[in-house]
Structure 1
Amino acid sequence: MKQSSQAEKILSQIAKNNTKLGDLRAIAKEVKKDHKLAMELWAAMHVHARHLAILIMDKKQLSEGVVDRLIQDMDENTASERLHLIDWLFANQLAKEKKTITMIENWQNSPSSLKRRTYYYYQTRLRWVGQVPPPNSEALLSTIEKEIQEEVPEVQWMMNFTAGQIGIFEEKYRQRCIELGERTGLYKDEMVAKNCTPSYLPQLITIQVEKEKNRKRK
């Protein structure tokens, strides 16, 4: 794809290694929505260009075919970059349109690990945004209990996070989620930075439940 002068100018701006996500958001705020430019930037493959492309995409043009191509293109990036890109795509675009939400609801058993990850990210988000927990927690938790240890790492982590949110916000499932963590031992030995919440379910749930209690007392 031949790049426009606007795309070339932006790419020269963001090519530096010290470019931050905040810098990309500032550019996106100036550009606003421009799907054609987004596709030009996406084609450049550079991770900063793809982050920016996601911010200025037109979510109404994100059919399942388009999303499939974006996911396929993510294989051109490193493993850590592709996870950040798929999560960024969900948070900034897919989560904001009824049509794409409907697509995500059918991704639980997708052959694509990034689609399965996004399905669980969506389920996690439903629980932390302060709404009444959706009615599928029992079925969802049963599936996680059965499949989490056999899942690939990028989906496994998000499944674990979903179980954590169920345990935090739904007391009737709390002990079950804690026992899931104890039984699998996932992330038990994970080293976490100071002031960061561990992923090991017994610790994650205990810490976050206490934070929720303190928040409600204020």
Structure 2
Amino acid sequence: MTDTVLAQVMAELAGLEDPNARRINEKHGDDHGVNLGKLRALAKRLKTQQDLARQLWATGDTAARLLATLVCRPKAFGRDDLDLMMRQARVPKVHDWLLNYVVKANPHAEELRLLWSADPDPVVASAGWALTTDRVAKKPEGLDLPGLLDVIEAQMKDAPDRLQWAMNHCLAQIGIEHAEHRARAIGIGERLEVLKDYPTPPNCTSPFAPVWITEMVGRKQSR
């Protein structure tokens, strides 16, 4: 992959910059102004290019890093590659796309889940908890669900925002997917009151775990 190709792609990203989109994105902590639909269209045209993906990531530019997660080969990254990338991914959307589009498709995902969950960096730890939540829903075998509830009960109330959000999601997922732990999960949510007053748009489910659990279980039962 030549520097010329990288320069062409970066120029194209710059051409997609929209000041209005940037203002909206910055409210969510995302420092870019590229419409994500247009970004996905560019990725579809470029197709998979692992070398380009690495070069895009190395620029440190948010739009470039988002594009990198779409044109890379997730399984081509080593464990240490992804560990470093996650520690570099401070922008929420980059963090989210790296986790969901790359890490979850990588064979080192479980190893990284264990590594990150106890990390002292709360942003990195939130990635570990997000991977745990995924396992709670899809592959709970081998997970210590009571132990996870113990940690959530002890630590979620005072956790920094992104880590707190990830732990709360895990709490809700345990309650939704595992009836034997549902009452305890709801009880923890009621006692801690995390996100109880979070503003929720009409027709959206509240992130307050007791409400979230009850609503999602009700939906499942009504199918």
Residue 59 of structure 2 is aligned to residue 44 of structure 1: yes
Contact 2:79–2:108 (8 Å) recurs in 1: no
**Aligned equivalent of 1:59:** 74
Contact 1:133–1:170 (8 Å) recurs in 2: no
Contact 2:130–2:166 (8 Å) recurs in 1: yes
Contact 1:126–1:134 (8 Å) recurs in 2: no
Q: Deviations over 1:72-99 (max 9, x none)?
A: 4334xxxxxx222122111101111222
Distance in 1 (CA, whole Å) between partners of 2:42 and 2:142 is 36
**Aligned equivalent of 1:90:** 99
Q: Which moved more, 1:112-121 or 1:86-95?
A: 112-121
**Aligned equivalent of 2:183:** 175
Structure 1 segment 1-218 matched on structure 2, within 5 A: 4-15=3-14, 16-17=17-18, 18=21, 19-75=34-90, 82-129=91-138, 135-214=143-222, 217=223
Q: Percentage identity across aligned positions?
A: 27
Distance in 1 (CA, whole Å) between partners of 2:143 and 2:110 is 17
Contact 2:69–2:97 (8 Å) recurs in 1: yes
Q: Which amino acid aligns with 2:52?
A: L
Contact 1:168–1:174 (8 Å) recurs in 2: yes
Aligned length, in residue pairs:
207
**CA RMSD, aligned part only?**
2.3
TM, length-normalised to structure 1? 0.84
Q: Which structure 2 residue ranges, 5 or more long, are not aligned?
A: 22-33
Contact 1:133–1:169 (8 Å) recurs in 2: no
Distance in 2 (CA, whole Å) between partners of 1:22 and 1:105 is 33
Q: Which structure 1 residue ranges, 5 or more long, are not aligned?
A: 76-81
Q: 1:107 to 1:39 in 2, by over 3 A?
A: same
